[in-house]
Structure formats: C-alpha cells, structure tokens
Structure 1
C-alpha cells in the first residue's frame, strides 16, 4: 500500500475547488509564479452557494443581495437611522424656525408699539392744544379782543400745527412699516403673528382719513368757530374722534398681543408634546434596532464563533444551527459541511488505521507462524532421516510377519500351531502396525518436503485450466460425488508461478472444502484477474471456523478435520508455497456452521522488486539457514 493510497479522497481533496494554473500543472514552474496566478484567479471571483455536494462554485459580481441578508439588514438599519436623524433634525429645525418667526414678530411689534403710542400721544397732545386755543380765543372775545397778546395765540397755533405734522409723520412711518409687512411673503399661518397686519392697516387708514380731514380743515373757519355753550369748535370734535381711534388702535394692538400670547402657549405645549413623542418614538425605534441587530447579527455571530471553537476543540459531532438565512447562516452551513467532511475523513482514517492494525496483527501472526514453520523445518531436517529408517524396518517386518501368517494359514488344521481366532487377531494387529508405520513414513516424507522447499522454476500460465483439471480429478473420487462443486469467474487468469506447486495448493484447498461440507453441501470456486494479481477464492457452506481455529490455521500439525484424520501440514505447506511465490493465502469465516472462504492471490508477472512481506522474509531466512547448514 502506497502513501497515496493511505490518504482518503475526502482528505486529499480541497475544500474549495480552484482551477489549476499552468504553474501548478508544471512542477518545474516557480512557486512565485504559481502563487501570483492563483491570486489573480481568486481576485476575479466571489463565493456563492454551493450547487453540488463537493465543490463550491464561484459567482460573478453585481448580483443583488437576497432578502434577509446582512447587507439588507444593515441597509435597512442605516435607512431607519437616517430617518430618525432626519425626523429629530426636522423637529428641531421647525422649532427653530418658529422661534425665529416669533422673534421677528416680537421685534416688529417692539418697533410698532412705540409708534402707536406716539401716535396716540400726539393725537392727545393735538387735542389738548386745540382745546387751549379754543379757550384762549373764547377769553379774548369775552374780555377784549385785543387783550391777549397775538403772539401767544400764534405760538399755540404753531404748536398745534407742529403736533399735527408730527402725528402725520409718525403715522406715515407706521403705515409704511405695516404696508411693507403685508407685502412680504406670508410664510407663517394666520394665528402665529402678533397682530393681524390687515386689521392694523385698516385701523391706520381710518386714523389717516381723520388726520387728513384735520389737515385739510386747519384753516377752515367752520372748524375753527367756537361754540359759546361748549367753548369748543368742530376741530375739537374731530380731534376727539382721532384720539379715540388712536387709543382704539393701541387697545387693538395690546389685545391681539394677549391673544397671541395664548396662541403661543398652545403652540409651545403642542411643540413640546410633539418633541417628546418624537424623542420617545426615536428611542423605541433605536432600542428595537439594537435588539434586532443583537438577535440577527451579534447573537448568530457569537453562536458561530462558539460553534467553531467547539469544533476546533475536537467536538466534531457539534453542528451550528443559526436559522438566519443570511451570510452567517450560509457560513454556518459551510462550517457544518466542512465538519461533516472532516468527520467522514476521520472515520475513514480510523477505519484505515483499524484495517492497518488488523493487517499488522495478521502479518505478525504470519511472522510467528513462519518462525514456527522454520523451527519445524529445522526439526524435520534433523530427525526425519533417523526416524524414517526404523519406521521402514517396522513396516517391512510387519509385512514379513503378515506374509508368514498367511503361509501358516495354508497348512492343514492339525499342523497349525495357532487356532483360527488367534491367527486372525494377530493378522489384524499386524495390519494396524503396518498401516500406522506407513502413515508415519508419509508424515516424515511431508516433513522432509516441507524442510527442503527452495527456489523452483516459475512461468506465466493460465490458472483456469489448472483449476478445471483439479475439479475433474476430485470429481472422479467416489466420496466427493454427492457434493456440489462449481466454478465461476473469468475465463482467463494469468499467474506467474510453478504450476505443480500451485496445483498442490488448489487441490489442498478444494479437498479441505469438500471435507468440511455434508453430502448436500456446496463448494464454489471464483476466479478473477486483476491489474497486478489473480485471485482464486474457494468458498464452502460447511462447518466453518471459530476465531481460535483461524488464529492457528496455518500452524504445522494443526488440524480440525471432523473424521480425525490429517497430518495438519497441508495448509502450512500451501501457505509456504504461496509466500514463496510472493502471493497471499488468507482464510475467512463468520463462525462455526457458517461456511468458510479461502482466498489465494498470485502475481500475474515476475516480481522484479524485492518482496517485503513478513512471510517471504521468513522464508528467505529459513532457506538461508538450511543452505548454510547443508
């Protein structure tokens, strides 16, 4: 088994299938060029979902993110945050604009209120001046028309005219300010101003009309004639009307300012309420966003990190289940599949390690067995000749005595020294001695054959005809005619071996299988040719083997035949022959009464490399020892 064969496919295969660059395909290319080419290939791609069970495909850029992805979540959170900022900023800006409008209105009223007060005071002053003029003229008429100095009347009259002029100037400035305010764009609602400029202008128009009437009639005698009963003239009545209108205008301004104060208080409370509601809604939405971010991003990410740490610490049975459906969920699926593949690879490696351990145990047993075989070979070489000669003498002596007994049986009854019953008993004992002596001789011959195995001539031949010959030969034996013996597999299977020795091995395997089955048993032979070896499997439905029998199966003198016969050297010799040919002979059985299977593997060509199997090494050592001893 090579190092490459020992690595499972799931381990040797990369987790991500990247295309091989020319530098990778050519081993002579530089590592820098390969790294640069690989980086260029990967820089043009982005990962997407896998489409099969092994390779992660790559997708082009520009694909829209799917619903529920982290990109969509972050984009939604950003939009909500921007909406909150815009809402709070809008509320603040609206409040500032309202404050600016209020400040502008108050500033404008601060300029208009002194003017209205000045107009009212000027009107009252003009009325008072007219009253004094009337009194002066009335006194001058009753006492002496020429008694009051003309200068006093003239001064009072100039004062009156100046007051009227001041009133007109102030009214013009005031009216101009109101007109300008009316002509400005109305960017605020009607109830948000201190004073309605339209009402204010109408009031000023009324005052202006009265003032115009006064200005036009300053020199009109009808307005200047004094009523003796009231000591007043018509100008005074007009001035009273002017004072009343100016005061009414002043009262109008103060009243509208009071109403505006109530309106501002209502708007202030409404603005405060809206601000608090917006703030509370913003806080709730912000808290909800934090909770969503925690549950949909941070918590899954934390679970992903914890799961990855558990897997890195050796808990390969742990699986990460986020259920988010986003990139983190996809990453969890990737990690789970990587863990599955790694776990499968580990299981495959453990299985291979167990198989290798089992193979080591088998090879160790082969080494021990071959050491035992070597010891048996040394023993056989040492005392086979010493035992063979006495056993041959015993066998020949028994034959001679049996022949003499047969001669004695030919004599008449009166000349016989022994009766018929005793003679028959002696003949049976002699035959038993003769049979056991020849059996011992056969065992010694097999031991000599076992100890003298060496290099034999090997050729390439088809093993199928050889197996057919063995089947035909065994089929002629009467005791095996009731068993079923069938051949399956390839029609041709080439092996490189010695045909006579392989014939002996196959004959031994077939006869052992036939011995283990009953009359209605079945023995099947399967032949298969592989790329390097040809395989012959002999499978029976017989008595089977226990684990103990399998452990000692190829040991010398170990036999478990049901009839009690056998020397226990057949499988040992067969195993040694197979090892000498660089092959393998193994046995399998699921237990007693469940049948057995022997598998013979032989090379199809001459072994050019040095054989490194323990059995072959043991055989070489034994052969060298025997050669040195000889």
Structure 2
C-alpha cells in the first residue's frame, strides 16, 4: 500500500486554501476597483460641474453692467468661452476624463453639447458686435442686451449651458448606480467565498489534527524524553507519511546516540583540558614577550648619552658660529632621540606588565598634532624611502586619550603600511569625526591581505609581514590599546595586491572650551600634510 505523502496532503490543503483566498480576493478586488473607478468618475465629474457652474455664472454677467454698453456683454462671452475652451477649461478636462475612462457614456453628451455651446457663443458675439457697430434710429434707444436677436442667441447659449450641467448630473447619477450594482455583486461573491472558506477551514482543522498535530505532539514528547535522558522508550507513529519515517529515523538516532553518549562526554572533557592547555600556552607567550625588558639597559644608555651630548652640544654651539637653523635642527633631533627612547622604554614596560589591565591616564589631546608628530618620526625610518604619505585632517579634533599609547598605535599602523609598499607607494591618512567618534583611516597601496589573514590579523604572534621581520605583537597591542580607550580598530582589504585600509575609531570627548568644528571662531582648518620620502633617510 502506497503511503500518503505529507507533501501531497499539504499541497491539497494549500490548493484549496489558495482557491478560496483567490475567490475572496478577486471579488474584493473587483468591488474595490469598481468603487474606486466610480469615486474617481464622480470626483472628475464634480470638477467638471464646478467649471460648468462657473461658465453659467460668467454667462449670467451678460445682464450686468451698463445696458447701453456692449463691452460688458462681450466680456461675459469671452469669460464663458475661456472657461469652456481654455487650457484648464471644461473641454480639456472632459477629454482627459474620457481618455482615462472616467466618463460613463464616454463623453457622448458632452461631445455634442460643447460644439453647440461654441456655436451659440459665436452667434451671440456676432449679434452683439452687429448691434454695437450699427447705429440705432429713432428717438428710443434699446439696450444692447435687450435687442431681439441678442436675447434669442443669449437664451440659446443659456439653455445649452444648462443642458451641459444636466448631462454632468446624469453622468454622476449613472456612475453611482454602476457603483451600487458592483457592490451588490461583490457582496454576493464575497459572501459565498466566506461561507466556503469557513467550511473548508473547519474540515482542514480536523484532518490536520489527525495528519499533523497529533504526530507532532508525539514527536515532541519523544524529544523531551530524550532530553531528560530517557533512551529506552521509542516513538510509535502510524500516520503512513514522512512523519512516520521521521519517527523511525529518530528511534534509530536515539539508539546510536545512547551508544556514543559516554564517548562524547569523554571527548568533551578532553577538549576542555586541551583548551585550558592552549590558554596556558598563550599566557606563556605573553610572559615570553616580557624578555623585552632586556633592551631597557641599551635604551637607558641611549637616553643618557643623548642627554650628555645635548649638554655638551649647548656649550659647543654657544661658542661657535654655526647658523641658527642648523643649531635648531641638531637640538630638535636630540630631543626627538630622547623622546623616542623614553617611548620605547614605555613600550617595553607595557610588555612587562601586559597581563595587568589597569586604567591608563587619559587627557584631552589634539589628534592632528599626534599624527603629525608620528609622521615626523616616520620620515626617518628606512622603510619610508621613496614612498609618499598624505595626511588630511578635517579639523582640530580633541579627544581624551593616552597620548603615548595612541602614538604607538599610529606609528605601528604607519610602519606596517610603509613596510607593505614598494617604492612609489602612497599612504593616505584621513582624520575626521563620525557618530561621536574620532575616526582615523589609514589607506595604503601595499601588498594587501587575503581573507584568512584578515581573520587573524589582530591575534598575538600572528604575522604575515612582507619583510619577514614582524613579531606579531604590534597589531595585537594596538587592538588592546584602542579597546582600552573604548574604541574599535578594523582592517579591510580586497585581496592580495590591492592595498589595505585600517580604521581606528576613538570616542570623541572635547576638552572644556575647545570646539571640534574646523571653522569655529578663533581657529582655522589645518592644512593637509603631504610628505614624499625620497631615497635619503635624512631628507627634510
């Protein structure tokens, strides 16, 4: 005996429901459409009726004004003609409504009455002109509007205009009758569809209970038993469809699950121990980075020697005739050596206490100045030769940061970008604000990154440096620093050879009395910085 497939049952129910919904929707849509057309027709005809009413009102002014002066009569005729044949007159409105299908008789009456009214107006105007131009004889003068021919033509025009208004009223009445008829037909169709749908829903609820609801409840009960740890009570279904097959497969699965449950628990425990060991290895790696404290001694020597050299150089320069510019350069470079030596010492100290995540002191700092200070240092790096850097700040942006930490982040990103580029490469740095954050974007034309590199770029000891000299800690430490500032750092690349883009976002909080608007009073927008590093390391 062939099983009654569940999809066949559902398809049968779906077809019946779709047919009922289609019947109901079709009847409703027909009624709504007919009602919409009727409403639009009535609305258009009311607009036309308003124009005709204005025409009749303009025509009625024929009897107003000086009775002996024909200018008022001609003005009434011209006003009526304008309302009838003008750009927004009755003739144009009627043609548009007929074209749109909003006229019950397709403009049959209007197409006869409009030319008739035009003829009446032409005849009336001719008679008025004849009276004005022809001098009257006799002692008694008859007003222009009271002339027999004028009154006859005027009466014809009035009757035609009134007939036009009655034609519009007939169209409105006919449209309303058609609308009521459509509504009655729609009510019969919708009523039948609702009765059919209710009977169908009642029948389908009964069969769905037998075909689906009861088997699903049994499956749910079986799953709950397995979830509670009971594996020896199989499911029993006789629906003869996919749900019965699902119950059979579920019973087989439960049997296999019971067999591997103990082994699975053992594997989970083993994996947990391996994870703990892996975390310990990472901790050991962090501690291994602490050997960087060994470079504190040579750094101290560099700092001591630079300070001693600065003191001696001051004595030498005081008694020499060296140009002031050279003296300023030598002094500035010695200061830079001392500052960078101190910064290196601070970096090594951070590696020593890397596992301690204390709150760092944050003070309002000009991010534009920080970036330019880092670029001044980067221009002397060997990797900077033959490459260009363009820095475009959007304004004097101030944020509460730890200046030394953020300089480390900026320098690390700049050095990585320079290392990834060949000669002639370009690094673009932009600084702006977005959504309450200061946003630094570093976009280079370097070697780019593959998707797997992007996924692990901020992991400790992970490096894919083009020079092969990276330790894999720079970006990891940068990520930690930015995270401690409450910001984010992200990397993006379209693939190898397409360059990379790093975006650093730091919460933007202004120092008291300082504005972040580039054009604020008392400040001027900082000019972009464009650096080209030539072949010489000491290029200015």
- The structure that has the greater radius of gyration is 1
Give the TM-score normalised by the residue count of structure 2. Answer: 0.36
Higher relative contact order (CA 8 A, sep 6+): 2
Give the TM-score normalised by the residue count of structure 1. Answer: 0.31
